[in-house]
Amino acid sequence: MTDTSIRAFTYELLRKYGMTTMFGNPGSNELPFLKNFPSDFRYILGLQEGVVMGMADGYALASGQPTLVNLHAAAGTGNAMGALTNAYYSQSPLVVTAGQQARNLMGVEAMLTNVDAAQLPLPLVKWSFEPAEASDVPRAMSQAIHEATLPTPGPTYLSIPYSDWDEETDANMDHLLQRTVEVGAGPHPDQLKDWADVLAQADNPLLVLGPEVDAQRANSDAVELANALGAPVWVAPSESRCPFPTNHPAFRGVLPISIREIHEHLEGHDVILVAGAPVFRYHKNLPGDYLPAGARVLHITGDPRQAARAPFGEALVTSVKQGLAGLVDALNLSGRALPEPVPQTELSPDPPGAMHPENLFHLLNRLAPDNVSYVKEATATKEAFWSQIHMTQPNSYFFPAAGGLGFGLPAAVGVQLAMPERRVVAAIGDGSANYGITALWSAAQYQVPVIFVILKNGTYGALRGFASLLGAEDSPGLDVPDLDFCAIAKGYGVEAGAAHNAETFEYLFQQAMAQNNRPFLIEVSTTF
């Protein structure tokens, strides 16, 4: 007998969009959706909802496809909110579902009722909804998928009463399986021609690239533009992806995170093209002038909110990939001389019993395969990482877009699940690792061969930097001593080893690379 329930129809709808991998931590409200779970779907269990959201975020970012997240009512949603912040700022196409109490018990606020459910995740989702009746659940799910994936991508949220799943589907819902939604017009040629002329006539143009470039696989278009202009290239501040090959001679690194420091880096450039990033995402409060005198900023973004809130520049809201490719075509330049590459950072010898982060990343760059993908959450070692690591392909780097800790370990699991043909290395600080530590269990249970590299220095390094900036060095809670990540990893079923020098790290990394279907953790003692 054919199953005509809302549950069966919803699984068919998910199949249509390739959403057969879902991430969750179910409670009683979610079980009616999960019963009779189809054999062609896989459910990745996380032991806490922040980890669930982080794994799904990594999977959606790496795959570029909408991804279903299954949370438990209000409590599970609350646990996931920190990770949801990262997903929102990374424009991750997540469809977040939360089980609601049965409809006949919602009015009396029975246990596990999600009160005012649609309000709970705002403003961290593009769209939030609880269907007024069971028959609207399939249409609402279809809308959630399209809202999550249409420009600008981002998470959506659906609260679904568990009593709805066994109800019969309305015959009108069959149209949902046939419909399509496509995005139309790109940038107008005249708009790009005007900007191309400005760039061609610039004395000292500069490119600043952001995560949309990598998300839209426009990295090669950015290289063509840099080559044609002979322009240096910076990654926009608060980097969450790598939009440009770091071994290209035009690459300069990542812009700093304050108004004053960015002004200093832009000095001397008359035309600055910012593509796929806000202008700009600051962090440190060091006031100053936004731009050098006479500098002109051209801003290409697919996000109308970024264009609207920017305090300077001329913005064009369009596909970043089409915009960059169109500028290359319109420039009609034979190519200018590229700037001289940045000299390599000189490395210092390691002290006994620990490694300098620069030396660790230099060694990691030598040992890792060419198509490695890095998930990074060791915030105090940003400069060391970008100075030593060569990343040449799209999807080579992921970092928490909102700065919320707990992204790294679970996101690495999700990225590896989405890209089994590439090896994922997660470089995680000892402070941030504990926010998502249970992701190790998921990696072990689902045989996800992530190589976790924990940089252990016993302190919150980034926080210490801010303590110095703010004159708050005497603040409590800056150190995290006495952590044994090898013991923790083994408790979750992950093989592990500790390295105090380069020789031991190389041995352990080669051992980890040999594990094709199991994760491996390396705890590395590092200097501050």
Catalytic pick from 146, 248, 263, 283?
283
Preceding peptide of 123 cis, ω within 30°: yes
Catalytic pick from 24, 46, 49, 258?
49
CA distance readout (Å), 327 to 205, 220, 382: 14, 13, 31
Known active-site residue 30: yes
Measured distance CA(498)–CA(14) in Å, rounded: 43
Known active-site residue 28: yes
Torsion of CA 421, 423, 428, 433, to 10 degrees: 60
Measured distance CA(299)–CA(180) in Å, rounded: 31
Instruction: Determine the distance from the C-alpha atom of residue 518 to the mean position of all C-alpha atoms in its chain, rounded to a whole number.
Output: 23
Residue 171 has which token pair?
Answer: 């015959």
The size of the chain, in residues, is: 528
3-state secondary structure of 456: strand
Single-letter residue type at 163:
S
Catalytic pick from 46, 50, 82, 403?
403
Residue 401 has which token pair?
Answer: 């877009």
Measured distance CA(228)–CA(336) in Å, rounded: 6
Catalytic pick from 18, 28, 133, 475?
28
Query: What value, to the nearest 5°, has the Cα angle with vertex 51 and ends 45 and 52?
Result: 45
445: left (phi over 0), alpha (psi -120 to 50) or beta: alpha
Known active-site residue 72: yes
3-state helix, strand, coil in the chain (%, to 5): 40, 20, 45
Query: Are the beta carbons of 422 and 398 closer than 8 angstroms?
Result: no
Residue 505 has which token pair?
Answer: 């790290």
Known active-site residue 49: yes
Residue 115 per-residue DSSP state: T
Per the DSSP assignment, residues forming a β-bridge with 317 are: 301
Known active-site residue 335: no
For 180, counting Cβ atoms within 10 Å of its Cβ (0-12 exposed, 13-18 middle, 19+ buried), the class is exposed
DSSP 371-386: T-EEEEE-GGGHHHHH
Catalytic pick from 50, 72, 377, 497?
72
Catalytic pick from 24, 30, 159, 326?
30
Sheet holding 314-317, edge to edge: 251-254, 233-235, 205-209, 271-275, 296-301, 314-317
Residue 431 has which token pair?
Answer: 């402070």
CB atoms within 10 A of CB 370: 8
Known active-site residue 182: no
Known active-site residue 387: no
CB atoms within 10 A of CB 318: 20
Catalytic pick from 5, 12, 27, 224?
27
Query: Are the beta carbons of 208 and 236 closer than 8 angstroms?
Result: yes
Hey, which residues are catalytic here?
27-28, 30, 49, 72, 283, 403
